[in-house]
Amino acid sequence: MSNNEDRLLFEKHKQSLKQEKRIVFIWQALILVCFFGLWELASRLNWIDPLLFSSPSKVINLLISKFSDGSMITHTYVTLFETLLGFVIGTLLGILLASLLWSSTRFSKIADPYLVILNAMPKVALGPIIIVALGPGYVSIVAMGAIISIIITTIVVYTGYREVDPNYEKVLRSFGATRWQCFKSAVFPANLPVMISTLKVNVGLSWVGVIVGEFLVSKEGLGYLIVYGFQVFDFSLVMAALILIAIFAAIMYKVVERIEGWLIKHTT
């Protein structure tokens, strides 16, 4: 009887979670529809300047035209490739640097003030220096996407390493485990949720870095289209590029969420 009651309670809990997700999704979709509907209405009734803010219908027609002739596919592919590469490199290097800081207390003490200064420094301002150093090409743009997320990844992950319960390491030490074995068996696995949270932040940071890099040097990509659109006063093109950036950033965020769910399911 007790097992049946527990099962029923569990099923009710699952149903309530599904219902809550459904309600949240409906509200999200409703807000999105209302936003684009209000934007279209405001443009048609001249509540906003149609030349400056364009309208959803103009943006959709432009996207259909650009995807049909293949030009938008090329620009989108370039930006996606640069963003994903910068995202992966920035995250991996940040985790590696945080692990090196954890491995040496002296090294972490030496590096701490520099990390604080680098975190406070506007990384976007380094763009011209990076372009001069690496050349006006894909490498400098990917580097911008990576550099903008390395420091914050390092700080967040290293803080997570330090906050792991020291008793875990003491228990492993009592069985003769080395510092590396303690890190591999306790510290690193305990910080997987922190790393996933950092991935969510890095999604936005990587897009910022790559788009700024394309502003400065690129001859193709969504960032280039935004700059070109401003130069020729084609604000429908600017809005189309911004909408594509928002869509792909949302997709990347959802992928990270799925990875987070998978890790939670298989590590708990």
**Cβ-contact 90, 146 below 8 angstroms:** yes
Q: Where are the domains of the chain?
A: 1-48, 54-267
229: its two tokens:
């659109």
Q: What is the pLDDT of residue 164?
A: 80
Model pLDDT for residues 15-54, shown as the tens digit of each residue: 888 888 899 989 999 999 999 999 999 999 989 888 888 8
Domain 54-267: which topology? MetI-like fold (1.10.3720)
- What torsion do the CA atoms of 50, 54, 57, 58 make, to the nearest 10 degrees? 110
pLDDT at residue 56, as a whole number: 92
pLDDT for position 1: 47
Could you report the per-residue pLDDT of 77-108, keeping only the tens digit for each? 999 999 999 999 999 999 999 999 988 888 88
State how far the Cα of 12 lies from the Cα of 244, in Å rounded to an integer.
39
Structure tokens at 184: 């591999």
State the Cα–Cα distance between residues 159 and 106, nearest whole angstrom.
16
pLDDT one digit per residue (tens) for the chain, 268 residues: 456 666 777 677 778 888 888 999 899 999 999 999 999 999 999 898 888 888 999 999 999 999 998 889 999 999 999 999 999 999 999 999 999 998 888 888 888 888 888 888 877 777 788 888 888 778 888 888 888 888 888 988 888 888 887 777 777 777 777 778 888 888 888 888 888 888 888 888 889 889 988 888 878 889 999 999 988 888 999 999 999 999 999 998 888 888 877 776 666 5
| Residue 82 · residue 221 · CB < 8 Å | yes
- Can you give the pTM of this predicted structure? 0.84
Distance (Å, whole) CA 131 – CA 114: 23
